Each structure stands twice: as structure tokens, then as C-alpha cells.
Amino acid sequence: MSNKTSLKTSFVSAVICIFVSLCFVQSANAGSIVGWGYDGVDQASPPAGNDFDAIAAGEVCSIALKSDGSIVGWGYDGYGQVSNVPSGNDFDAIAAGGYHSLALKSDGSIVGWGSDDDGQATPPAGNDFTAIAAGLRHSLALKSDGSIVGWGFDWLDQASPPAGNDFVAIAAGGYHSIALKSDGSIAGWGWNNYGQTSPPAGNDFVAIAAGRYHSIALKSNGSIVGWGIDHASPLAGDDFVAIAAGEYHSIALKSDGSIMGWGVDSIEFIDFGQTSPPAGNDFVAIAAGGYHNLAICSPSFPISDPITGTATQAGSGLDETDPNKMVEIANGDVCIKFVPIVSGGGGVTITELNCRSVNGEQIARL
């Protein structure tokens, strides 16, 4: 399996993209968060740390799931979206909507907080939910039997999903919803004023995302298709592994770890750069909010002071020409790969490598 294929498979199996949020269960690589776009209430200014597993961007707030199963929030708190983040360490997935948020617990139940004018933050009881999606004023959940339930604002039937037990992913937009079926096709319901609930035909879709008036989907060949309002027109290419749709813009993660964006890049003629992501190739997850975005960067712990110590290796002596041999540094750190010896006497100077301490904590990487 090629690197591109393996990376694409890992993301496709984990990612469900939804309006003003990206929701997925436990990223394989926890990391730090970066934000860009409109930051008027600090919604694009995430907290420091390298232990974030999942991110969700709402209209003007953001939330993140930490590797210990707890949730943190930042940005606008007018409806308690930040201050009322539930406590606990038993959360598996998150979703951020217009002014409300949802979290899926490890026992399969859902909790909600924030604006609840239409009941969008009051999920149904039960312990058989496997995925969640938060729209502007409505919410969806996928059940273990493959069916979908909806609640909240339903004036345009956006919270009234179709019957069936063959759904595998959900996305809640502004006033519409879409779902991915087990056969790779897509279903849509709710407001269709721009055609946002009329997906293209086909059975080769692997991920979906819904914005306010547009929808996008990732195909099995790594390309993206869009429908709805004009700014849904996606980027060309077949090297994408994840997608996210915001208010009037979209972003996509590429197989090389970089991010691209398209759509509206301004608010009332003021350019906030929401379609202009930061440079880099170390991103592993993305989320699109109202006019801001978030991304998780893979763990990177640059070593300012090189690690030095006595290197030992199973077998007959240290083979500095073989980067796959295990090298143990005298201070207790076990390094999977190493750079060539740069000092004599059995000592090695390691500047940057994939290195895990004896308790499994990652302290550096290639």
C-alpha cells in the first residue's frame, strides 16, 4: 500500500465532516491546534498544548477533545458554549453548531450545551449513538443500527432524516442535512434553495461535509465534488484525505499533510483569510467554522538541546548506517531512529528523531 493510500485510508475511516465543525473519534496522533480566519472573539486562538485529539469549529466558538477524554472551549460564550463545556473524561467525539455544541460519550450517550431555543442542545436519551453532527439550529445523531435521528429547528425538515438503517456518516448544514450510505451514495434533506440537498449520483463517496448553503463530498479516488451555492466548486486534484465546510467556504486536507481552501474569504468586504490556511505539511485534522478554521498539527517536539548519552544496541555493536536499528540512550529514552554518530567514545548526539520515552510519551519525531 502506498503512503498516499495508507494515509487516505486512515483519514477516511476516522473523519466525519459537518457544518461549522469537524467531528471524529480519537485521532491517531494527538497534537497542537492552529487557527486562522476571523478571530473577533478569539475563536481562532486555540489554547496551547500538544494533547488534542479532535476539533470542532462553531459559528463563533471552538471546542477541542483532549487525549484524556476531556473537552475545552474558547471564543464567544454568549450562550455558555465555552463556560458550560461539560466536565469529565469520558468523551469520544464533539460537534459545534451555530451557537450550541454536542459531545458523544464513551457509553454511547450524547450531551449538549449552549443555545437551546429550538431544542438543538437537548439530545434524545439513549446509549446507542455512534456519531453526532451540529447544524446552525438543529442536530443529528447516527445510531448503532445505522439509522439517523434529528432534533432542534425543523421548519424546513432539516431535522427529519429519511428512514433506513444503512447510513454510516452524517453532516448538518445551515438548514439542510446530508448522510453517507453504506453503499457509498449520499442522501440529502431539508432546504434545497441552492440544490444543496441534491447530491450527485454515484457510489464512490467516502466522506461528506455541509456548509450553510452548500455541500461537498470526498470520493474514494481522493477527489472532491461540491453542490449547492456557487462557492461549493471544489479544488481540482485527487490527493485529498479530509474535508470540512464552513459558512461560505471550505477547506481540505491533502495526503501530504498540507491544507487548501476555497470559497468566500471575507466578511462585508473585509478579508479575514479563512480560505488561506497556514503553510506546512504536518496537519492531521481540520475543522471549518463560521468564518474561521482550525487544524491539528502532528506532535512535534524540536530538541533545542541535543540529547546526548551512551548508545547501546542489540547485536554486535552500533551500526550507524542502519536507521532502523533501535538505539537506547543512557537517560532512559528509547529512540526508534537516529542520526549518525557525531561524537566519539560511544556517545551520540541526537538532534531530531522519532523518540519515545520508556513510558511511551512521545518527546520527539522525525
- Kindly report, as residue ranges, where domains of CATH 2.130.10.30 are found in the chain: 3-297
The mean pLDDT value of the chain amounts to 79
Mean pLDDT of 139-146: 98
For residue 60, give the C-alpha cell: 463563533
What is the pLDDT confidence band of residue 269, given thresholds at 50, 70 and 90?
A: low
pLDDT of residue 265: 78
What was the pLDDT predicted at 253?
Answer: 95
Residues 291-310: what's their mean pLDDT?
Answer: 61
213: Cβ contacts below 8 Å, ≥ 6 apart: 173, 174, 176, 193, 194, 196, 228, 229, 248
Residues 42-49, mean pLDDT to the nearest whole number: 95
Give the pLDDT confidence score for residue 231 in this predicted structure: 64
The pTM of the full predicted model, rounded to 2 decimals, is 0.78
15 vs 180, more confident: 180
Q: Which pLDDT score is estimated for 315?
A: 34
Asked whether the beta carbons of 272 and 235 are under 8 A apart, the reply is no
Would you state the cell numbers that stand for residue 66, as one nine-digit string? Answer: 483532549
Q: What is the architecture, at CATH level 2, of domain 3-297?
A: 7 Propeller (2.130)
Q: Is residue 99's pLDDT more than 90?
A: yes
Between 83-97, 232-246, 337-351, the lowest mean confidence (pLDDT) is in 337-351
Q: What is the mean pLDDT of residues 312-329?
A: 39
Q: Which three cell numbers stand for residue 37?
A: 480566519
